[in-house]
């Protein structure tokens, strides 16, 4: 059990070092079995995401890139965490992660 946790922590740390967005690897460990985290993949349609995750907390029109973004609140053993899924102009998943749509927009704006 300890070895598995250590391997997972090392893998997440190495991925976090290459990531262009700041997210806490602990969030992934805590919420990894949530359907939105586990089953949603880039390229999926908006309808597929709604079937998996249900109605979002809010829907935001994206300003940096055309499309929209769904905000969700994940719950796991009393812990709540914002999670977003952003869609391109064709309604396909572009990004997902442990931040709000607003935070995602700010990150994308800073990268321009």
**11-69: pLDDT as tens digits:** 444 444 444 445 678 888 899 999 999 999 999 999 999 999 999 999 999 988 899 99
Digit-coded pLDDT (tens) for 57-100: 999 999 888 999 999 999 998 999 999 999 999 999 999 999 99
Rounded to 5 degrees, what are φ and ψ at 61? -80, 130
Alpha helices in 24-100 (DSSP H): 25-31, 35-39, 46-53
Measured distance CA(98)–CA(84) in Å, rounded: 7
The CATH number covering residue 73 comes to 3.30.1450.10
pTM of the model: 0.76
Measured distance CA(50)–CA(71) in Å, rounded: 12
Residue 4 lies in a domain: no
**Domain range for residue 45?**
21-111
What single DSSP character describes residue 45? B
How many domains is the chain partitioned into structurally? 1
């Amino acid at each position: 059990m300890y070895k598995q946790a250590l391997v997972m922590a090392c893998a997440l740390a190495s991925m976090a070092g290459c990531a262009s967005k700041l997210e806490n690897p602990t969030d992934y460990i805590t919420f990894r079995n949530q359907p939105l985290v586990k089953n949603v993949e880039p390229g999926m349609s908006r309808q597929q995401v709604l079937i998996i995750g249900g109605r979002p907390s809010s829907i935001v029109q994206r300003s940096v890139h055309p499309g929209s973004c769904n905000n969700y609140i994940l719950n796991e053993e009393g812990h709540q965490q914002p999670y977003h899924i952003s869609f391109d102009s064709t309604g396909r998943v572009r990004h997902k992660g442990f931040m709000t749509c607003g935070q995602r927009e700010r990150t994308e704006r800073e990268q321009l």
